[in-house]
Structure 1
Amino acid sequence: MALTCTYLPEVLCTFPAINDDFMREFKKTVDLGFKALVRSYGDTLNQMMQPLQWFLNWLQDLFVSAPWFVFLVVMLAIVYAVSRNARIVLGTAAAMLLIGLVGLWQDTMITLAMVTVCTLVAVALGIPIGILMARSDRIQAVVNPVLDVMQTMPSFVYLIPVVMIFGIGKVPGLIAVVIYAIPPMIRLTNLGIRLVDKEVLEAADAFGSSNRQKLFNVQVPLAMPTIMAGINQTIMMSLAMVVVASMIGVGGLGKNVLQAITNQFFTIGFLNGFALVVIAIIFDRTSQAYGRRLQKHTEVIHG
């Protein structure tokens, strides 16, 4: 006979949830408290984010207003300088020309500006936090659960607090993207530094290196391939989050994808999604090539 609620006491069939009135009051108290916090400190937080807004606007205007051929030449030069791979450069040129031919050049520039700023912010915050985690097991024990929450929380949830604090616009979208994309940067920085050979650190100690000298002259250079992998993952996650962030005012390719979903335009959605994939592949191949170069350089030094 199947064990169903028909044959069991009601107390075993209905989960003993917390009283509805209590939960209603609890939610109301938390929401009102957060709104009061926003009213008290919202203007201060907005002023703190103003330089980020200026930088994003400046970079976006630079990318959009630059002649396409000038931007393409500069981009190819950067790709070659980083990857030293002619095939990646040719692939980048073909992909960017294809994006321009289908009329998505300007939207791609807006998205590139957003991803660039998000990546710079994530790297600037993530590397120091990762270093602190690598130098202290106690800090690692505190930060790891926070990173777990950040990586498993549905991405749409990040939009709620940033919109309440900053409203609709590019900065709240940027903040949401950074929150979503920064965990790999922190984790892989921490991992890379912890994986540095202890014999190398002992040799540095033998030469009288201070902790600061060991960090910047030994640990960070040897951990750089792993840190580059973190940057690669941060870029990928930033591109993935751009579409979600378009719901709160972030323009570019993400906005077009959102409009295509709303209006059920398959072709528009596919083309803009394809452009995002192309950008992701360019960043991925370029950063991986640079990581392999760093790995070979590290092995030569370590050997």
Structure 2
Amino acid sequence: MQLFPKLPLADWIDQIVDVLTENLGPLFDLITEGIESFVDLFVLALTSIPALVLIAIFTGLAWWASRLSIAVFTAVGMLLIHNLGYWDGTIETLALVLTSVLISIIIGVPIGIWMSQSDRSRDIFTPILDFMQTMPAFVYLIPAILFFGIGVVPGIIASVIFAMPPTIRLTNLGIRQVPEDLIEAANAFGSTTKQKLFKVQLPLATPTIMAGINQSIMLALSMVVIASLVGAPGLGADVYRAVTQIKVGIGFESGLVIVILAIILDRISQNIGMTKQK
């Protein structure tokens, strides 16, 4: 027995979505075209490079950012991906993940900076970030499909919502953890707020910010299978196909490829911030 009348929350949300769909349809179409064009350009740029050359580039990047053992793992892992026949799917997944992370950085870092400069904005954004991180990722796909249709765009939008909070949180945390004596020294030299931010706080907060970006990359990569449910291409589609057709071998292969790609992206992004700090 209910103590109070049930609130029609679901009906209210459906009405809000209907209003947004009717009134902002052209804007959603524009966003869809822009993201699709960017992803297609990303895929075209990566596929225009021969596979062995791209593997050499990633190996060199891993060596520069980390150490020789990671570079060797990158080379062996990507050669295995190519040998198993998942190279095209890996490129599509990489384009999807990097697009999601790039959008997360463009939106998340400025919000994190804003939160670090204002306690009020921090108090406003913190519960929003809690909501974004705890809401099941499948729920984001429902309005994304209504707004952006079937395909890669709703998968990217859902990935951005799910993956952006760590970038925002750790940008705010990294700037707030800059030692006070350095801030006081910058003030003593007459630095403006902009100078303190770009010459003191952001350089010192770079490792923490990169840790947030690293977590966003991992979360975006974890969304590739979920995004495949709405028509997003890549390795997630292979996993989904293996599940629906009960093909254990193909599922294991595609899952292994995702794991290799995740380790490579994790090690490279994890060490870039430390390299820049040094």
Matches within 5 A, 1:101-140: 101-140=83-122
Q: How far did residue 72 of structure 1 move?
A: 1.3
Amino acid at match of 2:18: K
Greater alpha carbon shift after TM alignment, 69-78 vs 157-166: 69-78
From 26, 46, 52, the equivalent of 1:69 is 52
Kept after mapping to 2: 8 A contact 1:181/1:235: yes
Contact 2:32 2:148 (C-alpha < 8 Å) held by counterparts: no
Task: Give the gaps of 5 or more residues in structure 2.
Answer: none
Over alpha carbons, which structure has the higher Rg? 1
Residue in 2 aligned with 1:191? 173
* Residue number in structure 1 paired with 2:156: 174
Is 2:200 aligned against 1:218? yes
- Residue by residue over 1:109-140, the C-alpha shift from the partner in whole angstroms, topping out at 9 and shown as x without a partner, is 11011111111111111110000000000000
Partner of residue 245 from structure 2, selected from 251, 258, 263: 263
Q: Could you tell me how far 1:29 is from its partner in structure 2?
A: 4.7
Aligned-pair CA distance for 1:148:
0.2
Q: For residues 214-246 of structure 1, what are the alpha-carbon distances to aligned partners after superposition, in whole Å with 9 as ceiling and x for unaligned? A: 000000000000001001100000100111011
Residues matched between the structures, number: 278
In structure 1, distance between residues paired with 2:80 and 2:195: 47
Over aligned residues, Cα RMSD in angstroms?
A: 1.6
Alignment of 1:16 with 2:3, yes or no, is yes
TM-score, normalised relative to structure 1: 0.87
Contact 1:63 1:110 in 2 (8 A): no
Q: Distance in 1 between matches of 2:16 and 2:258?
A: 39
- Which residue identity does 2:36 align to in structure 1? Q
Query: What are the ranges of 5 or more consecutive residues in structure 1 without an aligned counterpart?
Result: 1-13, 298-303
Report what 1:284 is aligned to.
266
Superimposed CA distance per residue, residues 176-214 of structure 1 (whole angstroms, 9 cap, x where no aligned partner) = 111100000000000000000000000001111000000
Whole-Å separation in 1 of the counterparts to 2:33 and 2:65: 31
Residue by residue over 1:121-171, the C-alpha shift from the partner in whole angstroms, topping out at 9 and shown as x without a partner, is: 111111100000000000000000000000000000000111001110111
How far 1:37 sits from its partner (Å)? 2.1
| Shift in alpha-carbon separation, 1:166–1:196, aligned structure 2, 3 A | same
* Aligned-residue offset at 1:294: 4.1
Query: 2:42 corresponds to which letter in structure 1?
Result: L
2:31 is the alignment partner of 1:48: yes
Classify 1:16/1:202 alpha carbon distance in 2 versus 1 (closer, same or farther; 3 Å).
same
Shift of 1:288: 2.3
